[in-house]
A = this chain, B = another copy of it.
Amino acid sequence: MNNPDSQTLPRTGRIRIDNQARIIEAAEMEFAEAGYKGASMVSIAKRAGLPRANVHYYFNNKLELYNRLLLDILQLWNTAFSQITAEDDPAEAIGAYIRAKVMYSKTNPRASRIFASEIIQGAPHLSEYLETDFRDWLRGKSRVIDAWAAQGKIDPVDPLVLIFLIWSATQHYADFSVQVVSVLGDRSLDEVDFEMVATNLTHIILKGCGMKPPTDHSLPRLAMS
């Protein structure tokens, strides 16, 4: 049974990795749909197609599983967005950031919803993160925006309001997608829609902060069925 030829992947851990991945995906769906308290381990096990006991075998308890998910989301968030510095051209940097955030909403809607639920419900499992890394990151970016304003490259808008504006407007298409979809006539959002959203948001936000938007007319629009 220890013959290394008997399996392509190492025996020890292959099933483990596989099952853990299934559980994590199932948990992502469940926590996104119900929040932490509302989520049930039974339901996660069902979604993963595994007996409940197996879920407890891989993740000791509900909180551990949830924390693992939050950690994954924060790590993804940290790597997904390029660093912005005062030397960058603001229109380019902010435009790229808006586009990246919109595409994150397209690609990782459940991660966005889990994070949103956690914050809405008072962030009981993220208070440490909010008071440290998050705060530092946000204050650092605020200084960059202030520097741009001091150089006259953008209007002297409050940096926090601008950052929160970009976040909320882009995350909206993940967190509130049900609302968006319902007004479009129940067709789901596709690649073109997200491009369209990114273009329109970039126009409004860049121009609104005194920068030149990439497109000044013939903006694309969402099609309502």
Interface-lining segment among A14-22, A53-61, A75-83, A217-225 = A217-225
A169 within 8 A of B: yes
Interface-lining segment among A2-10, A64-72, A85-93, A115-123 = A115-123
Residues of B within 8 A of A162 (CB): 200, 204
Contact of A176 among B168, B169, B200, B210 (CB under 8 A): B168
Complex alpha-carbon distance, A164 and B174, angstroms: 12
A161 within 8 A of B: yes
Report A123-146 residues with CB < 8 Å from chain B CB. Answer: 123, 127, 130-131, 134-135, 138-139, 142
Among residues of B, the one whose C-beta sits closest to the C-beta of A159 is: B221
Complex alpha-carbon distance, A162 and B135, angstroms: 29
Interface SS, A side? helix
Contact of A175 among B35, B119, B216 (CB under 8 A): B119
Complex alpha-carbon distance, A3 and B132, angstroms: 64
Among residues of B, the one whose C-beta sits closest to the C-beta of A170 is: B168
Contact of A169 among B120, B127, B165 (CB under 8 A): B165
Q: How many protomers of this protein does the assembly include?
A: 2
Among residues of B, the one whose C-beta sits closest to the C-beta of A217 is: B156
A111 within 8 A of B: no
Query: Do the beta carbons of B207 and A121 come within 8 Å of each other?
Result: no
Residues of B within 8 A of A34 (CB): 35, 37-38, 121
A41 CB to nearest B CB, Å: 13
Contact of A167 among B172, B204, B207 (CB under 8 A): B172
Among residues of B, the one whose C-beta sits closest to the C-beta of A123 is: B178
Among residues of B, the one whose C-beta sits closest to the C-beta of A178 is: B123
A203 within 8 A of B: yes
Interface string of A21-58 (1 = CB under 8 A from B): 00000000000111111110000000000000000000
Query: Do the beta carbons of A204 and B157 come within 8 Å of each other?
Result: yes
Given contacts A35-B117, A119-B176, A204-B205, contact A224 B156 (CB under 8 A): no
